[in-house]
Amino acid sequence: MVDPGTTPAQSRALVAQLKRSRIFRDYEQAFRDTTGLPISLRPVEGFDLPHHGDPKENPFCALMAQSNQSCAACLQLQRRVEEEARLEPKTLKCFAGLCDSAVPVRVGENLIGFLQTGQILLHTPAQHEFARITRQLLKWGTEVDLKRVEEAYFQTRVLDRRQYDSILRLLTIFAQHLASLSNELMVRGAAAESPAMARARVLIAERHADELSLQEVARAVNMSAFYFCKSFKKATGLTFTDYLARLRIEKVKNLLLNPHKRVSEAAYEVGFQSLSQFNRVFRRIVGESPSVWRDRLHGAEPAKTPRA
């Protein structure tokens, strides 16, 4: 199941936006060129073959996708990968011993989708292993050219564990960038909205550092608090409180690009009234403490105690 707060439809829509973004398209190309491996970004419950048609798709996997039985085995693997990679990166092996890995893309508590790569071996392929694969294919009644399958299998990319772990680390770092971009997209919300909602967004952006209430914004756009609450949620997909919190968190993250800015200064500067509230909201939206996030941003070891 998708985490509460993000439906499969919302996950698909958000992933589609991310895939159209310049940052994803640039990284996607750079990843393929640098590693020679396939890469995909797919939504939650997007059970398909993630690398089918990828320019770097493993020829062996492409042949397996042509058979119903072996394709079904690959789809079962994708389901297992998704189930086990909801909180942290996970690598599983298919029936042929090839690795497939998924890195979760999370916005706070919400799982948005997965970055995936793989179709590699972590050891040099051996003839006795292919004999086992052949027996499995024959057991399934798979109709494939075994000579072509053998050639493709022995051409599979082989990496050592250290190399592959480094590649997964790159994906994990990129997943953090995509999480930040996802949060910005959620704050931005739907492009087509009523003039009243547009005015509300402007007001919130201008006065986010003040003690701004829903009732105050509703009065400014000539709506009752009840109707404004419903209209705002429909236009943005977020409640007023969550929208304001996400906007403030993005402002904090921009301020913390300065390594000399104290976390407490940034929190109060954008409108949080207490550090405990700020830390709670930051963890909910970003998924880690502001100190850890800032240390990671600037390449430092995570602080053992929160910065005041």
For residue range 224-250, list pLDDT tens digits in order.
999 999 988 888 778 999 999 988 998
Mean pLDDT of the chain: 86
**Domain end marker among 128, 159, 184:** 184
102 and 123 share one domain: yes
Domain with 87, as residue range(s), is: 8-184
| Cβ 241 vs Cβ 213: under 8 Å | no
Sign of the alpha-carbon torsion through 157, 163, 166, 168:
positive
Lowest-pLDDT range, 64-68, 230-234, 300-304?
300-304
Structure tokens at 234: 């429909």
- Choose between 250 and 190: higher pLDDT: 250
- Asked whether residue 201 falls in the same domain as residue 158, the answer is no
For residue 282, which amino acid is it?
F
Rounded Cα gap, residues 253 and 287, in angstroms: 13
Confidence category of residue 53, pLDDT binned at 50, 70, 90: confident
CA atoms within 13 A on the CB side of 280: 7
3 state DSSP class of 119: strand
209 and 228 together in one domain: yes
pTM for this structure? 0.64
Same domain, 51 and 115: yes
Amino acid at 133: I
Predicted confidence at residue 190, as pLDDT, reads 47
Q: 85 and 114 in contact (C-beta within 8 Å)? A: yes
Is 216 a domain residue? yes
Residue 53 CA to residue 62 CA, distance in Å, equals 8
Q: Domain ends where: 184, 218, 237?
A: 184
Q: Which pairing describes strands 40-43 and 99-107: parallel, antiparallel, or unpaired?
A: unpaired
Q: Which long-range contacts link 223-232 to residues 24+ away (Cβ below 8 Å)?
A: 223/196, 228/200, 231/194, 231/196, 231/197, 232/197, 232/200
Given 184, 212, 247, which residue is the final one in a domain? Answer: 184
Does residue 173 sit in the same domain as residue 66? yes
pLDDT class for 300, splitting at 50, 70, 90? low
